[in-house]
Amino acid sequence: MLPKLDPLLHSELRLAIMSILAGVESADFTFLKEQTGATSGNLSVQIDKLTTAQYITAEKGFKGKLPCTTCKITQTGQEAFARYVDALQAYLVTSK
């Protein structure tokens, strides 16, 4: 039987956010927006969902006088992402 895919990570934008954060120490909102091509509103909603699940942290602050949100993947998020990647690999192996 194939493993279940985490529905929270199965969303294209949330998966993109997690993929980016898995490879960096942190990323600010603007960087995530540029990398994903998401609108500010959609990106904000998806960051909130990942934060609520404790997959990432989102720290709000300022860069000079401009607001800045910095996101980091948590240990819980790293583990969930690794499980998701493993599950996807199981699907790929099965399809051969």
Tokens of 83: 């499980």
Asked whether residue 5 is domain-assigned, the answer is no
- Taking 80 as the threshold, does the pLDDT of residue 62 lie above it? yes
pTM (predicted TM-score): 0.92
Q: Where in the sequence is the domain holding 49, given as residue range(s)?
A: 12-91
- Taking 90 as the threshold, does the pLDDT of residue 23 lie above it? yes
What span, in angstroms and rounded, lies between the C-alpha atoms of 31 and 10? Answer: 21
What contacts 60, CB < 8 A, 6 or more positions away? 67, 68, 69
Note the pLDDT of residue 95.
63
Mean pLDDT of 70-83: 98
CATH of the domain at 40: 1.10.10.10
- Taking 90 as the threshold, does the pLDDT of residue 40 lie above it? yes
- Count of domains forming the chain: 1
- Taking 90 as the threshold, does the pLDDT of residue 94 lie above it? no
